[in-house]
């Protein structure tokens, strides 16, 4: 096991900068997730750690060793890809053993490790089968097992679940987490799926266009996103963004005024007429039933907006309501209780919990 450290790593391909000035340190034994949209540089970071890609500048350390010039074989990392190429003519046991045989590990040790890994991944009963006799999920477990059996210092996983169907992906995700708790090997996991990132990570690194946007624990990033990209990327349904203009005691959105909470006025130096993006997560918007508007006027305060219901999506326990601001083509998503009885076309009033309002630069 080992920590992994990158210092100011940049990788260019001709005139394309795939990753720029990447610096982070994954402590020994932790599970970190690199997340971001397609093409943001996740795989390139993983490949520079594995040694499959050289760096244009910067330093890569595994443990205390600078590995910039070490070939992949000598880095003692194991990488698992989305298309986990198993050897089709070898049995599961032979696939698990292959990496160890290449490293001239003693055959009794190989047998012990293969059995141990097979038991921990619940593929012991499959050891004599060939890959084509396995389901996708079982094949993926063999690919993981092959990496674990080598007992590497570091695991690098590149979208390892993306070929699995939804149910299997959820199950395997939970298993991966348990496995990491058991094995405790430093793991760096790449995904574009924010749910995988939120559920698996000790820490998340959010990337966009080759640049780190934020590093932090999942809840910390969710509660205090650094910028609009991070705010809208993590969270399902995503954070709503409404463009507004600061008008002193509130924000003008179309023809409506949303109150400005005092913490915003006290901490941000906003100027009259300034354009801003206001962020609010769907769970902090409440539909105000018309019959209760009058009695709740006090607490509704400045958080009320009038909207038109566009789409209603029952999710079971909750209902996701897509609305547009009255008279504007501005969409917003609101979570209401599952038994909500509104209809498409209704004009309703919603209350935004202004304590959970985010203010972003409109870039
Ligand atoms: P991600 O894994 O987040 O989808 P990648 O790391 O694969 O992103 O790619 C980051 C950027 O670098 C993209 O713009 C991609 O086109 C570019 N890139 C990656 N590998 C190469 C390569 N071998 N040659 C040229 N451009 C590359």
Q: Which residues are CB-neighbours of 12 under 8 A, at least 6 positions away?
A: 18, 56
Q: Which atom of ligand 1 is the closest one to the Cα of 46? A: 6
What per-residue confidence (pLDDT) applies to 298? 57
Ligand 1 center to 41 CA (angstroms)? 6
Contact 342, 321 (CB under 8 A): yes
What SS3 class is residue 118? Answer: helix
> In order of start, what are the domains of the chain with their CATH numbers?
4-233 (3.40.50.300), 240-360 (2.40.50.140)
Ligand 1 center to 160 CA (angstroms)? 18
Q: Is 41 in the pocket of ligand 1 (CB under 6 A)?
A: yes
Note the pTM of the prediction, 2 decimals: 0.90
Q: Closest Cα to atom 7, ligand 1: which residue?
A: 43
Q: Which atom of ligand 1 is the closest one to the Cα of 192? A: 3
Ligand 1 center to 39 CA (angstroms)? 6
Q: How far apart are CA 26 and CA 2, in angstroms?
A: 9
In a 10 Å sphere around its CB, with 0-12 CB exposed, 13-18 middle and 19+ buried, how is residue 6 labelled? buried
What per-residue confidence (pLDDT) applies to 23? 98
DSSP notation for 323-340: EEETTS--EEEEEEETT-
Q: Within 10 Å of residue 280's Cβ, how many Cβ atoms? A: 24
What per-residue confidence (pLDDT) applies to 175? 82
Q: Which atom of ligand 1 is the closest one to the Cα of 37? A: 3
What per-residue confidence (pLDDT) applies to 102? 87
Helical H segments across 103-135, by residue range: 107-120
Q: Is 16 in the pocket of ligand 1 (CB under 6 A)?
A: yes
Ligand 1 center to 38 CA (angstroms)? 9
Q: Closest Cα to atom 25, ligand 1: which residue?
A: 13
Query: Mean pLDDT in runs of 10 for the chain (363 residues)?
Result: 95 96 98 96 97 97 96 91 84 93 91 91 92 88 88 92 82 85 92 92 97 97 95 91 92 92 86 94 88 61 89 92 85 89 91 93 82
Rg (CA), the chain: 25
For 213, list phi and psi in degrees, rounded to 5. -95, -35
Q: Which atom of ligand 1 is the closest one to the Cα of 210? A: 10
């Amino acid at each position: 096991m080992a920590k992994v450290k990158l210092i100011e790593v940049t990788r260019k391909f001709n005139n394309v900068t795939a990753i720029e000035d990447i610096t982070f340190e994954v402590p020994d034994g932790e599970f970190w997730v690199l997340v971001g949209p397609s093409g943001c540089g996740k795989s390139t970071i993983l490949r520079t750690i594995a040694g499959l890609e050289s760096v244009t500048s910067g330093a890569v350390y595994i443990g205390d060793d600078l590995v910039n010039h070490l070939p992949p074989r000598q880095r003692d990392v194991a990488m698992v890809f989305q298309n986990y190429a198993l050897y089709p003519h070898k049995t599961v046991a032979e696939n698990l053993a292959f990496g160890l045989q290449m490293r001239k590990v003693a055959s009794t040790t190989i047998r012990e490790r293969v059995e141990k890994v097979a038991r921990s991944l619940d593929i012991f009963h499959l050891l004599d089968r060939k890959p084509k006799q396995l389901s996708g999920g079982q094949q993926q477990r063999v690919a993981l097992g092959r990496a674990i059996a080598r007992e590497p210092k570091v695991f690098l996983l590149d979208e390892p679940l993306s070929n699995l169907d939804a149910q299997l992906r959820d199950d395997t995700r939970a298993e991966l987490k348990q496995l990491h708790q058991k094995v405790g090997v430093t793991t760096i996991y790449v995904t574009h799926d924010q749910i995988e990132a939120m559920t698996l990570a000790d820490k998340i690194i959010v990337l966009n266009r080759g640049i780190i946007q934020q590093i932090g624990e999942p809840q910390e990033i969710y509660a205090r996103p650094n910028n609009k990209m991070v705010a809208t990327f993590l969270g399902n349904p995503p954070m709503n963004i409404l463009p507004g203009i600061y008008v002193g005691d509130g924000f003008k959105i179309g023809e409506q005024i949303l109150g400005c909470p005092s913490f915003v006025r006290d901490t941000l130096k906003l100027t009259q007429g300034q354009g801003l993006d206001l962020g609010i997560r769907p769970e902090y918007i409440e539909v105000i039933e018309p019959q209760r508007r009058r009695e709740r006027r006090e607490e509704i305060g400045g958080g009320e907006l009038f909207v038109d219901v566009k789409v209603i999506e029952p999710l079971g326990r909750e209902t996701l309501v897509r609305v547009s601001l009255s008279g504007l083509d501005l969409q917003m998503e609101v979570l209401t209780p599952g038994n909500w009885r509104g209809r498409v076309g209704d004009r309703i009033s919603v209350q935004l919990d202004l304590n959970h309002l985010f203010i972003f630069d409109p870039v």
